[in-house]
Amino acid sequence: MPEAMGFFTDTTICIGCKACEVACKNWNQLPATNGGVTELSGDSYDNTRKLDGTHWRHVKFIEQFEGPYNGRWLMMSDVCKHCVQAGCLEVCPTGAIIRTEFDTVVIQSDVCNGCRACIAACPFGVIDMNPAAGTAQKCTLCYDRMEVGLEPACAKACPTDSIQFGPIAELRTRAQKRVDQLKAQGEKRARLYGDDPNGPLGGLNSFYLLVDEPEVYGLPRDPKLPSRNLKSSGVLSAATGAVLGLVALVGLRKRRMDEIGGGGERGSEN
């Protein structure tokens, strides 16, 4: 079996160009929202807003300022984390979600029945329905490209190598060196997120270098698997009900957040 492969995203050299988003859509032939005719979000330069069934890469823009010109502008290209312990895979009733020989997590569209369980199970909000396909979809880490020895389209397109693709073990070493360099240069907040195989979800095969708390980037500090709620198999249906209820709540809250964001206050939150 080949080594575990994945992404290391160094957010400190991300220039927010969104080439990853376009390369992903191009390779995977994902449609633009409403044919490309959409509205300005008002949330910095982020008009994608979230990962979903047709946006498998999403560049976040976080403005941290205290007055004019006084602050920093963080950018981060978000993607499926390809968790070593993957919630989506755990809950998929049809077996559509598989772990590949590259230790990545892939949804097989032709086996997916569109039940949406994985959407709720993902602690990162990565998965959503692709309306064109009628199935749940997300980043495949370009499984089809990897099979023939090519790197994923986003990593290939990234002009600054903010997105790096390779064997996870090698990426972890490289990432730690970069953290050490940044700390030596005075960036004390530099840290890795998801690189620890003993950490949450057994480590993420798409991990990040951040220069602030994970919450700043919209990442959960302590992502959990849905199965943590399962006392035993006997209460599965109850637990599922609870999870679905939670999903509904999360969905409602998220919609409220979006409405607030759309109302124009997002720019001043930071």
Partner 1 sequence: MGSNMAECHPVAFRWPMKAKLNGAKLIHVDPRFTRTSAVADLHVPIRAGSDIAFLGGLINYVVNSRRWNTDPFFKEFVVNYTNAATIINKDFKDTEELEGVFSGLGSFSEPPGWPYNGFQGRYDTASWQYERDPKPPGPKTEDLIARRAGPPFDDLVRSLKPGPAHRDPTLQNPRCVFQILKRHFGRYTPEMVEQVCGSPKDKFIQVAEALLANSGRDRTSAFAYAVAWTQHTYGVQMISCCALLQLLLGNVGRPGAGVMALRGHAAIQGSTDVPTLYHSIHGYMNAPSALRPHESLRAYMAAETTPTSYYGNTPKFLVSYLKSMYGAAATADNDFGYDWHPKILGDHSHIATFAAMAEGKVKGMCCVGQNPATSLNGSATRLALRQLDWLVVKDNWLTETATYWYQAPEVKDGRVHSGDIKTEIFFFPSTQIAEYDGSFTNTQRMLQWHSKAVDAPGNCRTDTWFYHNLARRLKKAYAGSTAPRDQGWNNLLWEFDPDPGVKPIYPGEPDALKILREINGYMTADPHQHLPGFAALKDDGSTTCASWIYCGCYPAPDQNMSARREPDPPGVPGAHLKWGWAWPANRRVMYNRASADLRGNPWSERKRWVWWDPTFVNPPDPKTGIAPPHGKWVGYDVPDFAVTKAPDAKPKPDGIALDALSGTDAFIMRGDGRGWLFVPTGLLDGPLPTHYEPHESPVQNMLYPEHQMSPVHKVWSAGKPWNPLASVGDPKYPHVITTYRLTEMYLAGAMSRWLPWLAELQPELFIEMGKALAAEKGIRNLDWVIISSPRGHIRAKALVTDRIGVMQIAGKPIHHVGMPWHWGWAGLSTGDVVNDLTAWVGDPNVSIHEGKAFVCNVEKA
Strands 206-210 and 105-107: unpaired
Instruction: Specify the amino acid at residue 94.
Output: T
Min separation Cβ 28 and partner 1, Å: 11
Q: Does residue 19 bind partner 1 (CB under 8 A)?
A: yes
Q: Does residue 139 bind partner 1 (CB under 8 A)?
A: no
Q: Does residue 45 bind partner 1 (CB under 8 A)?
A: yes
- Residue 116: CA count within 13 A, CB half-sphere: 12
Min separation Cβ 100 and partner 1, Å: 27
Toward partner 1, which CB reaches closer, 66 or 215? Answer: 66
Strands 5-10 and 206-210: parallel
Report how many residues bind partner 1 under the rule CB under 8 A.
50
Q: Which residues contact 237 (CB under 8 A, 6 or more apart)?
A: none
Q: Does residue 266 bind partner 1 (CB under 8 A)?
A: yes
Q: Does residue 68 bind partner 1 (CB under 8 A)?
A: yes
Judged by DSSP in three states, 240 sits in helix
Of 47, 100, 108, 229, the residue at the interface with partner 1 (CB under 8 A) is 47
Residue 39 class from Cβ within 10 Å (0-12 exposed, 13-18 middle, 19+ buried)? exposed
Query: By the 8 A CB rule, do 152 and 19 touch?
Result: no
Q: Does residue 250 bind partner 1 (CB under 8 A)?
A: no
Of 67, 198, 221, 237, the residue at the interface with partner 1 (CB under 8 A) is 67
Query: By the 8 A CB rule, do 4 and 222 touch?
Result: no
Of 2, 3, 71, 227, the residue at the interface with partner 1 (CB under 8 A) is 71
Query: By the 8 A CB rule, do 112 and 211 touch?
Result: no
Q: Does residue 69 bind partner 1 (CB under 8 A)?
A: yes
Nearest to 73 by CA among 59, 87, 83: 59
Of 159, 197, 220, 251, the residue at the interface with partner 1 (CB under 8 A) is 159
Q: Does residue 74 bind partner 1 (CB under 8 A)?
A: yes
Toward partner 1, which CB reaches closer, 147 or 187? Answer: 187
- Restricting to residues 177-206, name those near partner 1 by CB under 8 A: 178, 181
CA distance 199 to 13: 25
Q: What is the DSSP letter of 231?
A: S
List contacts with partner 1 (CB under 8 A): 12-19, 21-22, 25-26, 31-40, 42, 44-45, 47-48, 63, 65-75, 159-161, 178, 181, 262, 264-268
